[in-house]
Amino acid sequence: MIDEGRMQPSEALRYFGQVARHFRDRARLTHAELGAKVGYVGALVGHVETARRIATDDYVLRLEEVLDAGGLLAAALPMLEEERRRAESRPVYVFVVEASAQRLPGAMAAKLLRRLARGASAAQDDRRADE
């Protein structure tokens, strides 16, 4: 996910999102409906369209097939790879929390431990719908 205020989405990501939205609108699908068809959560559809997320190759190829985009979405794969490299090269901010997971309420501790286990580059919106 593009971090709040740290990295602005590029024009290329905004354009890709607009093209993806055009094809979704043409198919008359909501975010949730398209997400179900491609096997991802509906929120990811919206985040890609608003350039808050960089689409994975798998996601783009599924969109291409479901939306019958005539190769226009798949043609963006090299550009999206470059955007991923750009995002990975951004600075990483580390925060130290003075608390023990054992002292946090159960649900909060579990959520914190899951996030720590996934690492800094993992994002919660990229979960597949079938997981």
Predicted TM-score (pTM) of this structure: 0.64
The whole-angstrom distance between residue 101's C-alpha and the CA centroid of its chain comes to 28
Q: How far apart are CA 118 and CA 73, in angstroms?
A: 29
Residues 6+ apart with CB under 8 A from 126: 44, 53, 56
| Region of residue 51 (phi > 0: left; psi between -120 and 50: alpha; otherwise: beta) | left
* Interval 18-57: pLDDT, tens: 999 999 999 999 999 999 999 999 999 999 999 999 999 9
| Residue 60 DSSP class | H
Taking only the tens place, the pLDDT of each residue in 82-119 is 999 888 876 656 655 665 555 666 677 777 777 776 66
pLDDT tens digit sequence for 16-26: 999 999 999 99
